[in-house]
Homo-oligomer: A and B are copies of this chain.
Amino acid sequence: VSPQTVSRVINDRPDVADETRRRVKEVIERLDYQPSALARSLIQQHSYTLGVVTAGLKYIGPSRTLNGIVDRAEAEGYTLLLKELPRFNSNDIKPLLDSLLAHQVDGIVWAVPEVSENRQWLTDRLPALPVPIIFLTMQPNPAYSVVSVDNQLGGRLAVEHLLAQGCRRIGHISGPLDWWEARQRMEGWRTALQSAGLLSHSLDPAGQLWTEGNWSSASGERAFTALLEKSTHLDAVFVANDQMALGVMLAAHRQGLRIPHDLAVIGFDNLPEAAYFWPPLSSVDQDHHQLGRAAVAELVRQIDIQRSGTAPEPASIVIRPVLVVRDSSSQIKKGVLNER
């Protein structure tokens, strides 16, 4: 039998005699033969491969996002090429991007959060990019395809809940402000306080209700100690992630503060462990897994469109976070609070 007949059988083409097809299939089975994906990609100019660029894989957020990307990619029949940026704010993306393109990926998922100047390369490189690319976790922009969580909404949900619980002096421990996500969560905190008439100055100018952390538990502990020094009568704190909130609670325990009676605490991310912190931590849940899945779904859609000849329109997808209330912020005795 000739090679192209085998090719026809493998690709389920109709123009093969049943008998031939049967015989070829039998031999394929017996030899455990499988076609070279490489040769196939080369000739078809279609690799069924997606490039994924990630950063901070040692943290749980990026891993869960990657998990969503992998799941959806396998469901769509795509194989993943994985690359990692050495630092979140790296702008040295040329070797990475070149390597992915050399492997003829059909599309790219840029699963690196927007931090300081790490989107600068976009202006230079994006116009010449031969394949669709989706960005995760950055400011939506009509020029690109972006999938993000509404972090500002998350911050608002947290603070509005605290207000409903009777809290009035609500502090904030933010992530590093060169992170877009950190700025958005802080903005949510600010707007909620302003709407309630509890933040008269436009930006808490003395910074009395706010301190900056670096996402780690250690920084949360430090930031809370600093916050207590400059701010009195604090009755609640919205912390920009669960790890820092854990550090805050440890510091509060050591100060003899009771949570939530003396101090209500809300985190962000809703780690699986948050429900087992002491006390169980209220948190804004963001679905990293869905973020990854949505990105791949949109990317594959754009690849198909591009392959059919038309240029795909950029799309922005925003995922709404949800507040999960636990002991650290509920059943506060309001009377006690009002006395203070």
**What residues of chain A have their CB less than 8 Å away from a CB belonging to chain B?**
32, 34-39, 41-42, 47, 52, 57-58, 60, 62-64, 66-67, 70-71, 74, 79-84, 98-99, 101-104, 128, 216-218, 220-221, 243, 246-247, 249-250, 253, 272-273, 275-278, 280, 289
CA distance A99 to B38 in the complex (A): 11
Given contacts A81-B81, A289-B58, contact A250 B221 (CB under 8 A): no
Chain B residues contacting A218 (CB-CB under 8 Å) are: 275-276
> How many copies of this protein are present in the complex?
2
A102 touching B37 by the CB < 8 A rule? yes
B82 touching A243 by the CB < 8 A rule? no
B36 touching A102 by the CB < 8 A rule? yes
B84, B276, B277: the one contacting A70 at CB < 8 Å is B84
Q: Which residue of B lies closest to A47 (CB)?
A: B38
What distance in Å separates the Cβ of A171 from its nearest Cβ neighbour in chain B? 19
B81 touching A221 by the CB < 8 A rule? no
CA distance A322 to B249 in the complex (A): 27
CA distance A47 to B276 in the complex (A): 46
CA distance A240 to B289 in the complex (A): 26
B60 touching A60 by the CB < 8 A rule? yes
A74 touching B70 by the CB < 8 A rule? no
A67 touching B58 by the CB < 8 A rule? yes
Given contacts A217-B273, A221-B276, A246-B276, contact A63 B74 (CB under 8 A): no
What distance in Å separates the Cβ of A127 from its nearest Cβ neighbour in chain B? 12
B41, B82, B275: the one contacting A217 at CB < 8 Å is B275
Chain B residues contacting A36 (CB-CB under 8 Å) are: 42, 102, 104
Most buried by B among A42, A58, A62, A79: A58
Given contacts A247-B276, A273-B246, contact A37 B82 (CB under 8 A): no
CA distance A149 to B246 in the complex (A): 29
What distance in Å separates the Cβ of A129 from its nearest Cβ neighbour in chain B? 11
What distance in Å separates the Cβ of A74 from its nearest Cβ neighbour in chain B? 7
What distance in Å separates the Cβ of A254 from its nearest Cβ neighbour in chain B? 9
CA distance A275 to B218 in the complex (A): 9
B38 touching A103 by the CB < 8 A rule? yes
CA distance A41 to B273 in the complex (A): 45
Chain B residues contacting A60 (CB-CB under 8 Å) are: 60, 63
Given contacts A63-B57, A272-B217, contact A79 B79 (CB under 8 A): no
Chain B residues contacting A80 (CB-CB under 8 Å) are: 81-83
What distance in Å separates the Cβ of A146 from its nearest Cβ neighbour in chain B? 23
Chain B residues contacting A82 (CB-CB under 8 Å) are: 52, 70, 80-82
Q: What 9 A-B pairs come out closest when comparing CB atoms?
A: A63-B63, A217-B276, A57-B67, A37-B102, A278-B278, A246-B276, A82-B82, A80-B82, A70-B84
